A = this chain, B = another copy of it.
Amino acid sequence: MNSDTLSVSYRGYIECLNQQDWNNLGRYVSENVSHNGKTLGLSGYRAMLEGDFAAIPDLYFNVALLVSQPPHIACRLKFNCTPVGMLFGLPVNGKPVHFEENVFYEFDDDGKIRTVWSIINKSAIAEQI
């Protein structure tokens, strides 16, 4: 897979998240996926994402910057959303907030996401509430 086809596949993954199309998540994510050093597997990864949408009903992943060099993608994601209660241990309680995530992905030989290293700008949220 070259950098362009990997980018197209990744944008398909982001679209899958934004549609909450969980039945197709396995097209993009490996059964053995790990997130920040913790092996979640596909079902655990799906559960994590479903939890994110429960905490943030209007969650939407905006790709601000995408850097592709197979087998890796790095993406800067931007979020403008309204968490209903607690988020990252912070009492957001329905206040609109914006924050960013800088995240790296490693894809396996089947072109599926195998490893994720994510950092979210949580301190930005603390300053907004």
Contact = CB atoms under 8 A, between A and B. Distances in A.
Interface in A56-105: 65, 67-69, 72-74, 76, 88, 100-104
Contacts of A74: 67, 74, 102, 104
Copies of this protein chain in the complex: 2
Contacts of A72: 65, 67
Contacts of A100: 117, 119
B119 A120 contact: yes
Nearest to A65: B104
A102 B72 CA distance: 14
A73 B67 contact: yes
B104 A103 contact: no
Contact of A3 (B69, B117, B120): B69
Given A67-B72, A100-B117, A122-B122, 16 more contacts: A3-B69, A65-B72, A65-B117, A67-B67, A67-B68, A67-B69, A67-B73, A67-B104, A68-B69, A69-B69, A74-B74, A74-B102, A76-B104, A101-B119, A102-B103, A122-B123
